[in-house]
Amino acid sequence: MAAPISVLTKELRENPRLADIDVYIAQGGYKTVEKVLKSMTPEDIVNEVKNSGLKGRGGAGFATGMKWGLCAERFPLYLCVNGDESEPGSFKDRLLLEGNPHRVIEGMIITCFALKINLGYLYMRGEFFQIIDQMEACLKQTKAHGFLGKDILGTGFDLELYPQAGAGAYICGEETGLIESLEGNRPYPRLKPPFFPAAIGLWGQPTIVNNVETMAQVERILDMGAEAYKQIGSADSTGPRLFGMCGHVKKPGIYEYDSTVTIRELIYDVAGGIPGDRKLKGVIPGGISAPILTPLEIDVPAEFGAMGKIGTMGGTGGMIVMDETTSIVDALLNASSFARHESCGQCTPCREGVPWMNDILRRIKEGKGRSEDLELLLDICVQIHGRTVCVFGQAPGVWPVRTMIVKYWPEFKACIDQKRLVVLPVDESYLKPDQYEFVPPVPGNFRLKPEAVAAAGG
C-alpha cells in the first residue's frame, strides 16, 4: 500500500500556530517567495509548473501550467483564488486556509509574479467567518513583512491581495459565478465557450482562477523543484493529494497520500474501515458530483485518469462512504435536494429539470413511485445534460441521478414495486459492472444493458 506523505501537511500537523507569520517564518516560511522573486523569471516559474504536471485541485483536474499558458497578455490581469469549498464531502481547502494560511498566500504571490499580476483576490466561503478574519490578519502581517505591497523585497514587483467573503451560495464556486460575485453582481455563471476567464474574466480582463490547494501545491513545486515533485504519485497524477474521508468510516479526516493509493485502501486502511465492520454499500469518491462507485469498483487508484476511465472523477478528493444501512434512494434524494436548493435558476433545463427530478425521487422514497419513474428520470438527465449555461446542471444535477439509478437499479425498482422505502441486502442492491456500460468521455454517462433490466424485473 502507498505510504502516507506529508508534503502539504507536515508543518501544519506539527504546529497549530502557523497563522502567526513569525512562527511560519521560523519554520522556513516565505523562503520560496524570496528565492523565486530574486532568482527566477516569470517564464522560469511557468515552465516549472508546467513541468511538474500539476493538475488543479478544484475538481476538474485541469493542468495548471496549461491554464496559465492560456492567459492573455492584456493588462491588467487578475488572480482569483477559489476558496468557496461548498461541495458536500469536501473540506480540504478549509484545512489549508485555517491551518497553514501563509502557504496559500505564498502560492498566490508566486503565481502573481509568474503571470505579471499585480492584484489578486482570495474568495472564501461565507460560512468560514473565523477563517476569513484570520486570513485578513495574515495578509496584513504579510504586507508588514514586505512580502506584499510596493517593490516587494526590492525586486520592483508590486502586489496587493484581498480576502473576499462569499454569502453561502454553492454556485459562487463555479469560476465565472465567482467572478460575477466579486464584481458585486448576482452570481449567474457566464457561458463558456467562447470566452474563458483566462481571456475575459474579472472586470473583462484576463483572469486566472485557481483553487486554494492548487496554490499550496505551487509553493511546494517551487520549493522542491518540479523534478522532485514529479517523483510523487504517477505520471498521470503528480504530487501529493489531500483526501477527505467522511461518512461511514471509523476515522474520518483529511489524509495526505499520493494518488496511487486505491479507494479500497483509503476506506479500509487509512480511514480504519466501516464502524461495526458493516458492509460497504458505495462510495462517492470526489465530492457529491463525482459518480458513485459500488463495492466492486473500489480497487482503482485515486488518480485523475484512472477514475475518469471508469466513469467517475477524482474531483475534490472528498470521499463520502456509505455502509449497508444506507438507502441509496434516500442518499440520492439528499444529493438532489442539495442541487435543487443551489441551482442559480438562470437556465431552464437546470432550474426546472433538477426540481422535477427531486420531486420524482421524493415520491419514490415516500412509496408513491410509478412504474415509469426510473425511465423518466433517465430521460430528464438526457434533456438537461450539455444544455445548460454551466456544468452545475450535469454535476451535481445529472451525474449522481444517472449513476445511482443505473448502478443501484434493483434498489430503486424495489422501492417502486413495494411502494415503500426498501433497503435491500447490500449484495442485491447494485448491479455487476458487466450489467451497465460507461460511455466516455463525460463522467456519469452510464447506460443499463437491456439484459440487466430484464433480470431486475423490467
Pairing label, strands 253-258, 160-165: unpaired
214 binds ligand FMN (CB under 6 A): yes
Which of ligand SF4, ligand FMN, none sits in contact with 394, Cβ below 5 to 8 A by type? none
Contacts with ligand FMN, 141-180, as mask; x by CB under 6 A: ------------------------------x-xxx-----
Instruction: Retrieve residue 201's grid coordinates.
Output: 474574466
Residue 25: Cβ-neighbour burial (10 angstroms; 0-12, 13-18, 19+): middle
Which residues 360-389 are close enough to bind ligand SF4 by CB under 6 A? 388-389
| C-alpha angle 7-12-14 in degrees, rounded to nearest 5 | 100
Q: For residues 56 and 206, which CB has a smaller minimum distance to ligand FMN in the complex?
A: 56
CA distances from 188 to 123, 175, 185, 339 (A): 16, 10, 8, 15
Nearest of 52, 81, 318 to residue 211 by alpha carbon: 81
Task: Give the gyration radius of the chain's Cα atoms.
Answer: 23
Helices (H), 125-195: 129-144, 175-182
- What's the distance, Cα to Cα, between the start and end of the chain in Å? 42
Q: For residues 237 and 343, which CB has a smaller minimum distance to ligand SF4 in the complex?
A: 343
Distance CA 174, CA 171 (A): 5
> Binder to ligand SF4 among 252, 253, 272, 345 (CB under 6 A)?
345
Contacts with ligand FMN, 69-108, as mask; x by CB under 6 A: -------------x-xxxx---------------------
> Binder to ligand FMN among 29, 58, 233, 353 (CB under 6 A)?
58
48 binds ligand FMN (CB under 6 A): no
Which of ligand FMN, ligand SF4, none sits in contact with 128, Cβ below 5 to 8 A by type? none
Which of ligand FMN, ligand SF4, none sits in contact with 56, Cβ below 5 to 8 A by type? ligand FMN
Contacts with ligand FMN, 107-136, as mask; x by CB under 6 A: ------------------------------
The least CB distance from residue 344 to ligand FMN, in Å, is: 9
Pairing label, strands 253-258, 240-247: antiparallel
342, 355 Cβ separation under 8 angstroms: no
* Count of residues engaged in binding ligand FMN, rule: CB under 6 A: 24
Contacts with ligand SF4, 388-407, as mask; x by CB under 6 A: xxx-xx--------------
344 binds ligand SF4 (CB under 6 A): yes
Give the type of residue at 167: A
Sign of CA dihedral 62, 66, 72, 73: positive
- Within a 10 A sphere around the Cβ of 441, how many other Cβ atoms? 9
The least CB distance from residue 109 to ligand SF4, in Å, is: 32
The DSSP string of 381-407 is HHHHTT-SSSGGGTTTTTHHHHHHHHH
141 backbone dihedrals φ, ψ, rounded to 5°: -60, -45
Continuous segment of H or E residues that includes residue 123: strand 119-124
Q: For residues 148 and 398, which CB has a smaller minimum distance to ligand SF4 in the complex?
A: 398
The least CB distance from residue 444 to ligand SF4, in Å, is: 15
Nearest of 253, 335, 274, 267 to residue 300 by alpha carbon: 267
169 binds ligand SF4 (CB under 6 A): no
Which of ligand SF4, ligand FMN, none sits in contact with 60, Cβ below 5 to 8 A by type? ligand FMN
> Binder to ligand SF4 among 61, 189, 197, 444 (CB under 6 A)?
189
Which of ligand SF4, ligand FMN, none sits in contact with 355, Cβ below 5 to 8 A by type? none
The least CB distance from residue 254 to ligand FMN, in Å, is: 16
> Binder to ligand SF4 among 250, 351, 362, 363 (CB under 6 A)?
351
Q: Cα 302 vs. chain centroid, distance in angstroms?
A: 13
Interface residues toward ligand FMN, by CB under 6 A: 56-60, 62, 64, 67, 82, 84-87, 171, 173-175, 209-211, 214, 390-392
Interface residues toward ligand SF4, by CB under 6 A: 171, 189, 343-347, 350-351, 388-390, 392-393
